[in-house]
Structure 1
């Protein structure tokens, strides 16, 4: 009798073990299914993000191609930005679409989109300026025609024409950019946004093409001011009539009526964090300005 009781007890224990193992198996199968399902969901999201990035880059590329075809004076900058977009598109196409890569690509795409927006704004500005110059030239032609008909107004018309030409011949300073770098012993410069690391400030700007301006050497005075209103660099003062200008450095360029880029490095030491302001002067006239911040 006792043997029968033990046998029944053993059978009950075995059934309990089998039940537990069955539950564990079912749990394992459910977990594998969930992991697989979650992985598929993530994969679909990454594919969607990849397609969105490529679509965004294609839109920016098309905008640049349209601007390049208009033959503005910013063609070199537009082409350079388009090449960056094409390279990024190639990198996205080749990528496996992992989370880290897509995050990096989205950040780079956003930066390029911002750069393209700035360039397109400049292109629109140049188109408006060219349209104004065209109107001015047409107006000048009309004035000259009237001057031939009415000799009693010749002096007044010539005076107006001279003023129009003088305004149209003024040079435009565009795309003023400034940044801080760390100069390494090898001569390589590494960009930085930290004041403690910066030992060179890079300043660059473009003088726009103007066929009616006088060619020759052009001199610009560059003024860099820190957040405490201190002028960096040479700190020399020049008088222009009754006006004085304290500047950081002077740069000269040979202008031949074509777009020309001006670049200059300003060595600095022990500069502090804060906002920095860069002003470009043609004698005493402020022609361009920008600012940047160092941590």
Structure 2
């Protein structure tokens, strides 16, 4: 009986020792991880402080330079050069707004313990400037001549416009079928529209258009092309304005010269 009790006691002590050893190893491992995290956080904070200090220093330098330039311009530029002063103040205002934006973002990043660079901030500001509207880029138009035996090739006139553009990538716009309206305005400010085509909104707003095209938009850059039939009596020499619409919002424009 006594031997059995001694055996149970030894086993219990051994189990307690193993448990203590396991907990001790676990404790030191967690302690090492905590110390490594603290060092990493401290390093990130120092990097953010350095970036913020540098940007604030640039901001102070730009502010001081703008004050000096403003004094020089007031002394040198005459009243009839007011446009130059407005342009310069507009540029300096944009620079100041950008620096203030970066400084605020770095302060926020520091609070959230994030390592944010100036490059990241530029990309963030670019993304924030986007809305939930489509945008048409790289708009170009070319005249299309249709030849026949009745006319000489040199005498043929353009009868269509081929209008191509790119719907810009935008993650804020829902995917799916999008109907795009192309409006062609001639040099006399007349809208070219065979059959007087137009669409009307729920608010009774009418949009007269020259051609429409439907495309499948999947939140990526999407190339779109369509043809506009020209009205003979409205096709004259000069500059034509090409407007691109979606949901009664103008999303792009360009000039075509004929």
TM range (shorter): 0.3 to 0.5
Superposition TM-score, scaled by structure 2 size: 0.43
